[in-house]
Amino acid sequence: IAGITQAPTSQILAAGRRMTLRCTQDMRHNAMYWYRQDLGLGLRLIHYSNTAGTTGKGEVPDGYSVSRANTDDFPLTLASAVPSQTSVYFCASSPVGTGGGDEQFFGPGTRLTVL
Amino acid sequence: GQNIDQPTEMTATEGAIVQINCTYQTSGFNGLFWYQQHAGEAPTFLSYNVLDGLEEKGRFSSFLSRSKGYSYLLLKELQMKDSASYLCAVKDSNYQLIWGAGTKLIIKP
C-alpha cells in the first residue's frame, strides 16, 4: 500500500523515558519531515531530511533527534521525554525537498502523552 | 520573524460559498499551499500557488497576491464533508514550510 505509515498510533509515556516514533514511506521520496501539532498553533517542523544520509534542524529541534539511514525510514527519538512534548506528531515526505511546488504527503500521526 | 495569519474559525451554510483568507510575512517566498485537515486525521494537499492569480480545481479555488502577501481559498457549493480545518502554508527561502494555525470551517445544514 503506497503512502506513509507511523507507529505507534498513540502512546502514554512517563517523563524521563526514551521513546522512538517510527515513520516509513514507500513512495521513494527523497525528503522526509517530522512535525508536531499543538492546539492553536500551526504545524511546527522538528527535523527534516532532504535525502538519505542527511538531516537538518527545523524550528523546534531541542529534545529530539533523527536519523536517515535509508530512503524509506525516518525515526524520531525523544531521549528523555518531558510533559511539554505531549503533542500529535506527523511524519511527512515529498519527492524533492528543495523544490517549490513540492507537495508534502502526511502519515496518520502519533498522539503522544508524556506524564 | 515569520508569520502566517488566518481566521481561527468560520461558519457557513451547506450549498453556499466561503472564502478563507491568509496573510503572510516570511523570509523569502517559494510558493503557498493550502491543505485540508479533518478532525483527528492528517493534512491533505488542496492547492499550490506560486504566481499571482487564481488557480481553480473543481469546487475549490485559490488566489495569490505576492505584492500584498495575501491568499484566499474559495470553496463553492459547500457540502457537509467540507467541515474541516484549512491550513495555509508558505515555503520560505530555505524551502521549509511555515504553517498557519488553521481555520476551522463549520458547515451548517
Distance of alpha carbon B33 from alpha carbon A103, whole angstroms: 8
Instruction: Please give the residue of chain B at the shortest CA–CA distance from A89.
Output: B42
Q: Which residues of B touch A94 (CB under 8 A)?
A: none
Question: Within an 8 Å CB–CB cutoff, is residue B43 touching chain A?
Answer: yes
Instruction: Please give the residue of chain B at the shortest CA–CA distance from A44.
Output: B99
What does each of the 109 residues of chain B score in pLDDT, given as a tens digit?
789 999 999 999 999 999 999 999 999 999 999 999 999 999 999 999 999 999 999 999 999 999 999 999 999 999 999 999 999 999 999 888 999 999 999 999 9
Residue A1 is predicted with a pLDDT of 59
Distance of alpha carbon B45 from alpha carbon A32, whole angstroms: 16
What does each of the 115 residues of chain A score in pLDDT, given as a tens digit?
579 999 999 999 999 999 999 999 999 999 999 999 999 888 999 999 999 999 999 999 999 999 999 999 999 999 999 999 999 999 999 998 776 678 999 999 999 999 9
Q: Is residue A10 exposed (0-12), middle (13-18) or buried (19+ Cβ within 10 Å)?
A: exposed
Residue B105 is predicted with a pLDDT of 98
Residue B50 is predicted with a pLDDT of 95
Residue B19 is predicted with a pLDDT of 98
Which residues, at least 6 apart from A5, have a Cβ–Cβ distance to it below 8 Å?
A: A23, A24, A25, A107, A108
Distance of alpha carbon A74 from alpha carbon A72, whole angstroms: 7
Question: Within an 8 Å CB–CB cutoff, is residue A109 touching chain B?
Answer: yes
Which residues, at least 6 apart from B77, have a Cβ–Cβ distance to it below 8 Å?
A: B15, B17, B59
Question: Within an 8 Å CB–CB cutoff, is residue A47 touching chain B?
Answer: no
- Report chain B's C-alpha Rg in angstroms: 13
Closest chain B C-alpha to A92 CA, distance in angstroms? 10
Long-range Cβ pairs for the range B14-17 (8 Å, 24+)? B14/B78, B14/B79, B14/B80, B14/B107, B14/B108, B14/B109, B15/B77, B15/B78, B16/B78, B17/B74, B17/B75, B17/B76, B17/B77, B17/B78
